[in-house]
Amino acid sequence: MSSLPKRNPDRCPTHPGAFLREIVLPAIPSSKTELARALGISRQALYDLLSERQPVTPTMAVRLGTIFETSAASWLNMQSGYDLWHAERQIDRSKLKPLNTSL
């Protein structure tokens, strides 16, 4: 069994909107207007997602999973990885100390 190479931890994970814009849209025969209609959202909401101005919410993950016949969890996992990568770089953890608990 071969293992996949690990992603460089210094490289930001792909935003799901970028994945839609760069991988999914070129591979489907639908326009952005048709995609927005299929998702049941406005074109502006789709453009905000594609331009990475909006995250994939649980509701949007269900919509994407349904129309592309994928799991909603895969879309949320992609968003979560993106958000966590940014949070780990934005939060100053120097003054945070572990609690001495026996959990």
What CATH number should be reported for the domain holding residue 79? 1.10.260.40
Segment 5-30 shows an average pLDDT of 93
Segment 11-23 shows an average pLDDT of 97
Count the domains in the chain.
1
- Residue range(s) defining the domain that contains residue 83: 16-89
Segment 9-32 shows an average pLDDT of 96
Segment 26-55 shows an average pLDDT of 98
| Crossing angle for the helix pair 58-68 and 32-39, to the nearest 10 degrees | 110
For residue 61, tell me if it sits in a domain.
Answer: yes
Segment 36-64 shows an average pLDDT of 98
For residue 85, tell me if it sits in a domain.
Answer: yes
* Per-residue model confidence (pLDDT) at position 8: 87
For residue 96, tell me if it sits in a domain.
Answer: no
Segment 40-51 shows an average pLDDT of 98
Q: How far apart are CA 16 and CA 18, in angstroms?
A: 5
Segment 93-97 shows an average pLDDT of 91
